[in-house]
Amino acid sequence: MARAAPLRFLLLLPPLLAATLGRQTNRTFEIDYEGDQFLKDGKPFRYISGSIHYSRIPRFYWKDRLLKMKMAGLNTIQTYVPWNFHEPLPGLYQFSGDQDLEYFLQLADELGLLVILRPGPYICAEWDMGGLPAWLLEKQSIVLRSSDLDYLKAVHSWLGVLLPKVKPYLYQNGGPIITVQVENEYGSYFTCDYNYLRFLLNLFHHHLGKDVVLFTTDGADEEYLMCGTLQGLYATVDFGTSVNIIEAFQIQRKFESKGPLVNSEFYTGWLDHWGEPHQKVDTQKIVNSLTDMLAHGANVNLYMFIGGTNFAYWNGANMPYAAQPTSYDYDSPLTEAGDLTEKYFALREAIGKFEKLPEGIIPPSTPKFAYGKVAMEKVNTVEDSLDVLCLAGPINSTYPLTFVQVKQYFGFVLYRTTLPKNYNEPVPLSSFLDGVRDRAYVSVNGVPQGILERSKVLVINITGEAGATLDLLVENMGRVNYGRHNNDFKGLISNLTLGSDILTDWSIFPLDMESAVQNNLISNEMVTSDSFTSTLPTFYTGQFFIPSGIPDLPQDTYIQFPNWTKGQVWINGFNLGRYWPGRGPQVTLYVPSHILVTSAPNNITVLELEGSPCNFQKKCYVEMVDKPVLDGPLS
């Protein structure tokens, strides 16, 4: 064993890293206050950067997307590090596969791109809870993003793992990282706790050394920068096309009278919410503002240059509660699927007026294939699959427990109790404190009764007999990522009443959909009747083959759900995210080709929560198309 160890060590060392570490390390990156600029190796340097979040793009496509960014004339990329993506449970760290941050940094370096790293710990980003792990809420009264001792303790452990990993990738250590952001738009948060910022400053210095350029960014408003900035952290601003750039940079100048001008987030597009129109930002306006900023000698990061996808359950939400959809296309220069757009070429041309564009070929948009309709079959309801979805069985509790209390952070939990008396006439089932987070699909003895929805539907009427089973399948639709409502508990977070009685004696089933889907455990051993017309949350499956005889398959595709309502979809066990054409505006979900296989049938699993066309059409199907629809109808 001992003899094998050195060999194993060598194998573990990635070749790129080995090359990086051997590089001449006589490198510097610093702020030149007198010259109002950055200095790289002692020479004036200006970055033109673009945001890309590795957590929203499969590793398979990282290189393609980075190369397209390079070919647009960018010399730098900017990325967030979502804490909850890497530490799903306290002390459990994930840094491989799609979570391999170091490999992402190596790729950027290999392509000659510099990196602006934004490790938070809070990142906003329209990402679940702004990147903070939900398990922080196990201390119910925790004050996030403050000097709360339990919060600081968790941050201390996390950054103690993350920052030593990125240290070798700092520019001065031979890597691509030129600057590191501390916190994120902290001045927009209510705590305004300088001790917390100071704690972070010291921790970053401790792990990364004192010669690293640390910065903050805030909306270009004096009020934000008051609480968002700290001596020792270079203050930058962020703003979009609707803002006067002279005025915006004057705000930065109030806090940094000398040094480079920096717009850390110049918005190329904007985010969507379910039920609201798809956002777009005009290309010409972006070109004009960018040209102005570059002419002023400013450093600019385009947010986003490619948005990507909120796969699985990673989307966040804003208040009043509105969840973001699965697509994070953002109307960016590169689409969700990495395709070149008119905006891409317009920005490339604008950048080309200031910097020499790289030679070489721009990688083309990846081809998309319309695999067509896939017939779907009902497999089983969630209620009839509880034994495989909740192997450990339910947790009993007099009053409801939250997701965090049952240690389930994402997806679905089923809450079950029995009706205390006969209700022959409709009786109101009420979440009078607005405690359904975020949607509850309600049934009595397997008969659907309706849906409770956070801040929208707080009461429905139900009927049923004493002793009948009352089930609420509660969906976490994504945690608030911005503002003071970050402590976003999920599940039933307050009591429910039926008529005037508080419901008690709950059996709570945390549901592990991922294992059940991946291990093919959801089966249709239960005989399902043909006349089945209910709309209970139900699993469906279908299969499709990649056609033979066509070159270069499998290719990317988009899946859409004609006449389906709302749910979650997996292909070959990969959780593609939520679909909700019933609310809009997103209609199609992006399906990256690397999850498809040619050697076997590809298996689609759909969890439809409300109503599928299979209930009223002889044949029902989902469909694979070759064009995205992100601005479909709103309900």
Is residue 265 part of the annotated active site? The answer reads yes
> Shortest gap between Cβ of 24 and ligand NAG (angstroms)?
6
> E-assigned strands of 204-250?
213-219, 234-238
Contact status: 524 vs ligand NAG (CB under 6 A): no
- Tell me: does residue 375 bind ligand NAG (CB under 6 A): no
Residue in the structure block whose two tokens are 């399902």 = 528
* Contact between 624 and 370 (Cβ < 8 Å): yes
Q: Which of 126, 185, 336, 475 is catalytic?
A: 185
- Residue 320: CB atoms within 10 A of its CB come to 9
- Report the C-alpha gap between 604 and 557 in whole angstroms: 13
Judged by CB under 6 A, which stretch of 198-206, 263-271, 359-367, 600-608 contacts ligand NAG?
A: 600-608
SS3 content of the chain, % helix, strand, coil (to 5): 25, 30, 45
Closer to ligand NAG by CB, 411 or 613: give it: 613
495 part of the interface to ligand NAG, by CB under 6 A: yes
400 makes contact with ligand NAG (CB under 6 A): yes
CB of 510 to ligand NAG, least distance (A): 14
502 contributes a contact to ligand NAG by CB under 6 A: yes
Three-state DSSP class for 86?
helix
Q: How far is CA 185 from CA 128, 264, 445, 455, 578, in A?
A: 17, 10, 49, 27, 28
Q: Smallest distance from the beta carbon of 572 to ligand NAG, in angstroms?
A: 4
Shortest separation between residue 457's beta carbon and ligand NAG, angstroms: 8
φ/ψ region of 437 (left if φ > 0, alpha if ψ in -120 to 50, else beta) reads beta
From 156-164, 524-532, 595-603, 626-634, give the range in contact with ligand NAG by CB under 6 A: 595-603
Q: Which residues, 24 to 83, sit near ligand NAG by CB under 6 A? A: 24, 26
> Under a CB-based contact definition with an 8 Å cutoff, are residues 333 and 351 in contact?
no
Using the rule CB under 6 A, is 562 a contact of ligand NAG? yes
Position among 603, 615, 629, 632 found at the interface with ligand NAG (CB under 6 A): 603
Contacts of residue 299, Cβ cutoff 8 Å, sequence gap at least 6: 38, 46, 47, 48, 49, 260, 261, 262, 263
CB of 307 to ligand NAG, least distance (A): 28
Q: Which positions from 418 through 447 interact with ligand NAG, judged by CB under 6 A? A: 426, 428
Whose CB is nearest to ligand NAG?
562
Length of the chain: 635
Q: Rule CB under 6 A: is residue 572 a binding residue for ligand NAG?
A: yes
Among 188, 494, 497, 524, binds ligand NAG (CB under 6 A): 494
Does the footprint of ligand NAG cover residue 466 (CB under 6 A)? no
Least Å distance, CB 520 to ligand NAG, is 7
> Quick check: 288 binds ligand NAG (CB under 6 A)?
no
Give the start-end residues of each E strand in 503-633.
Answer: 506-510, 538-544, 557-560, 567-571, 574-579, 588-591, 602-608, 621-625
* 600 counts as binding ligand NAG under rule CB under 6 A: yes
d(CA 536, CA 608): 8
Q: For residues 565 and 579, give the distance between their C-alpha atoms in angstroms, rounded to a whole number.
A: 8
633 touches ligand NAG (CB under 6 A): no
Query: Cis omega before residue 176 (within 30°)?
Result: no
Total of chain residues touching ligand NAG, rule CB under 6 A: 23
Nearest CA-CA partner of 633 in 558, 577, 562, 578: 562
Residues 6+ away with beta carbon under 8 Å from 36 = 258, 259, 260, 261, 297
Q: Nearest distance from residue 148's CB to ligand NAG, in Å? A: 22
- Is 610 catalytic? The answer is no
Point out which span in 103-111, 147-155, 339-347, 392-400 binds ligand NAG (CB under 6 A): 392-400
Retrieve residue 137's tokens.
Answer: 């809420």
Contacts of 18 (CB under 8 A, 6+ apart): none
User: What residues act catalytically?
Assistant: 185, 265
Interacting residues toward ligand NAG by CB under 6 A: 24, 26, 396, 399-400, 426, 428, 459-461, 494-495, 502, 507, 562-563, 572, 597, 600-603, 613
